[in-house]
Structure 1
Amino acid sequence: MDFAFDARTEELRARLLAFMDEHVYPAEQVAHEQRARLSSPWENPPVVEELKAQARRQGLWNLFLPDAEYGAGLTNLQYAPLAEITGRSPQLAPTATNCAAPDTGNMEVLAQFGDERQKKQWLEPLLAGEIRSAFAMTEPDVASSDATNITTHIRREGDEYVITGRKWYISGAMHPDCKIFIVMGKTDPDGPDIRRQQSMVLVPRDTPGVTVKRAMQVFGYEDHYHGGHAEVVFDEARVPVSNLIGEEGGGFAIAQARLGPGRIHHCMRLIGMAERAIELMCRRAVSREAFGKALAQQGVVQNWIADARVAVEQLRLLVLKTAWMMDTVGNRGAHTEIQAIKIATPRTVVGILDRAIQLHGSGGVSQDFPLAELYAGARTLMLADGPDEVHQRSLARREIKKYL
């Protein structure tokens, strides 16, 4: 077994690590100060646009897309260590490199399922970082852990689709540059196959009948850097039939295709978050004293740091194995591994961040350290892209089936 990264991955890692040290980490405090002076909290601080321009100049752009026609042409295994690095500064680095959700998943959908007109109109400006987008699936009135529950209705009237429904936690929708929604709803609500009732359509933000109603908070955070998470109402919003992505009844399958890469990308970045938490723990431990000796000499603190290192090394190996399987046998062949990392990674990283917060005392829950915001993001990923319990149920069924 060869655990070394290939030459291209090492070269990109070196460039990206330098970019983080020279540009991203210094920009974190600058962005915080600039945001306080913006007329709208949803605008990008000017330093973000500077980071994007710098990333493009350095060839650190659209690294997530395996299709060389549109992106860097990297495999999942090559992208994994790069996403880990950007995960160390999740508020800035993914956006700076045009590798931020939900745009990544939306670009993948358009690249894989969009027609030429849709790619020209929406994919190209997304790839260029000129606009943002949102993916509208989750609804407040049903258990969205089961995507067949969605109630948003998409009915056809002549050459138009008419969309009616209410969505929430629609990431990116508050951003002023968000110009397009990918909306999942039911075109055939009474169809015999519950997984063929759904379709996806492109709905421009300025379509009459579309109302971005309010920003949803996540543990008190509004997640400005990702364009927030909005409640969006579709009230008889009309779009051309040509805005259908793929075919009618294909929405559920497209969602599954979108979520596979999305899940592993989140897990890659979570490992970077855990690494930053360990770094902060170690720096805190050697710089603070309690009860006559440095925190680094306290047995309980040593246990926390050792356990965190072991856990991160285990997670990284599982994520890299999953990435390799996705590259070699496809997303379907790696289904068990994708579910395993989706269960294990957020849960473990939440525990590491919790210990890091504890070690920082009151500072750990303050705005002076990134830990509280990292914790909120990691804890949310135990719900996003399918809650843990849904993945556990599916994985267990597959495991038990071997013995039936």
Structure 2
Amino acid sequence: MPNEKRGSVVTYPQPEHAAEHERATHREIARWIAKRHGMDFLGEYDPAKDYPAPVYFVPADVLTDRQKAHRLGIRSEQDLFGGVVSEPFMATKAIVHPLVSSQSPAPSAWSDEFCQRVQRVVLDGYSAFSLDDAKVAGLLLLEHGPVRIKAVRATAGRGQAVASNVDELTSILNTLNADEIASHGLVLEGHLSDVTTHSVGQVRIGNSQIAYYGTQHLTTDNQGAVVYGGTDLVAVEGSFEVLLTLKLSDELREAISKAQIFDTAATQCLPGFFASRRNYDVACGVDAKGIRRVGVLEQSWRIGGASSAEIVAMEAFQATPAPKIVQTSSIERYGAEQTTPPEAIILFSGVDATVGPITKCVMLGGYDYKQ
């Protein structure tokens, strides 16, 4: 994003069903980006308007049409907070695992090379684009323990189920939509227990770049489901390589290294892909044999739950003197009465028509999730 002249920052239209708390959070992040770079935040993008150039986009999701992105003026990671892929499936969990066979149905742009490159950094699993393949994949995985079945477009930990035997597998698959699977895919992978999910990422805006690791936390939503509740981040200025120079536990070092391998494979194997936000969920847990496993679960090349913490970290590095390491936290809590730390910045607090009462905030420094 050029800094030599004032330009415009806009959010890119979200689906009509998008939750208001998501819209509000995205607007606040876009405002921060505009302020930090001396640009004007001009709200949601309107194709009928003529915006002062350069225009920097903050889309709600990965852009999956390269030609459309190009028409908007999005030609590189310098033009957006997020990412661009050439096919919709590349933006989902479906790319993480291989197909069950060379005859399996798959999108025409499916990359076997990418699957081969990342196989050693992900958990055991398969992607399926038919219910028949899903059944075969599930049976293969059940030979080694319980199977986690994941809808590829679901977020925040939703859209998942675990099967411990053939009857449970069949029952779960019978509830799924065959057309949805044919269009977008389904992921089946070995289930882990005692799981910690790390966020590992790299974000670039203009000439500024940070890399970070963090730990995700869970909370209970208004329906009683266990969902994403926030992330603690530890960030440095620079790339994954700089992050790896820190004093880290063996598990964290392995998580960062595996995310880096996944990221490199995506850059080299997925044609047309670029992203300014490269975030990876990495699970550390115990498999059915009692072995501790570390594997990349999925990628996020779009604005996400930890993005507010990423932006606050980038702002902190602009202080004089600049810190070498920054810790930030994003926090999400459901329910009408929530107490937030006095130093936290509130992004949204109210009743969302989609999820009910919710409070979202971000803060510099760590947050005690036991509060």
TM-score over 0.5 (shorter chain): no
Structure of greater relative contact order (alpha carbons < 8 Å, 6+ residues apart): 2
- Larger C-alpha radius of gyration, 1 or 2? 1
More helix by share: 1
TM-score using structure 2 length = 0.30
TM-score using structure 1 length = 0.28
More strand by share: 2
